[in-house]
Structure 1
């Protein structure tokens, strides 16, 4: 599954929850065959954020702009919750990235934040780019894999056609609708504990997993729908843009910003 650049929301380092989750994740990793990759506790707000990675200067500008806007959006949410992120029961799926994870409550503010980020930095730039390809095909070419990419900016000649300008208002409106549908039907906030290809998790392993979760986090029941009574969650935290390509151990943090 292509993830591209993802926006993560992490608990702050050196907090009790961050340390507990990190220790738990390290312990659970030892229960799975091979050497499952290591990663820090986080929930993914969205994947496939549009950043121009081909040009380092532009990429740095994009990262700063997106993180700044994301922090403003997060800090602008109504303060009508104790925790923006509330962990729920532990679960497993066949998928590598959801092998073992905590559900996260769909707090309306969290869902709204994800919808905003998806609209502004995934759907809208992608849709505008697709329209630009239609309107200005001379600005694009194909790479060796057949993908449409922008031509490198060479010295402009007098005879080069001027790029066509087009109205983006309808594209923006459509992006809003797409983001709303995505946040309602597809967004599935969760906190992964282990990435693995093992399937299924047998009963003996499940019992060991649940015992460790309950012991490390000092909770009575990791099957309860929400663990809010145990204080398992956080507000604010750290926003990170992470390039999630290739081996998980090779993922790169492009930038981060603290939010309160």
Structure 2
């Protein structure tokens, strides 16, 4: 097993290797990269992140389908859709258990929020005593899902219910980190990247266990915190950069 300094050097090297624009080609982050308007990036990014489970090619294909339906102008669409547009969407299949009804629900919620706020950034602000996005994600959920219980609520997971909230944390990495590598956008200037965590899924979880970064066997919020504790010792200002290292190691199977 590597000691602390060796592990830090190893992960810094891997993060540096994988954090570049070539990363985008096969990753769902390519979806928001098609846009330059902040709100388009947010909406396309949020939708792509929401359906990010399973095969990456299938995720990108499903995200393409959503963009096509919105005329490749997400912000314009959520501000100007008609009820007939939503009826048409509700009959569509989108991505696995995220169906047309869910997509229409998300569009409606985006429309409401963007009529009140300029950016989704306003819904994720961190408060003084907080050290991560645990409470911020819940505040966002409350604002975004501000309706009676609906089937679509399950697509915005809750750290309060001990979910690792992988897709939400990935979306936050995209919006908050800005290291000029051409991958993450860094368009949310009012939120410090030091609060970010690593999106924890099967791959990043398994690699983290192999490296001795975590000991918990589940991939849940408690494990996110366990991983936070060590990666923030490696780099307290930009802990989420290690997502590139863990992801890259998972794809290349270097540790097998």
Return the TM-score normalized by structure 2: 0.26
Report which of the two structures shows the higher radius of gyration computed on alpha carbons. 1
Higher strand share: 1
Give the helix-richer structure, 1 or 2: 2
Q: Identify which of structures 1 and 2 has the higher relative contact order when contacts are C-alpha pairs closer than 8 Å and 6+ apart.
A: 1
TM-score by length of 1: 0.26
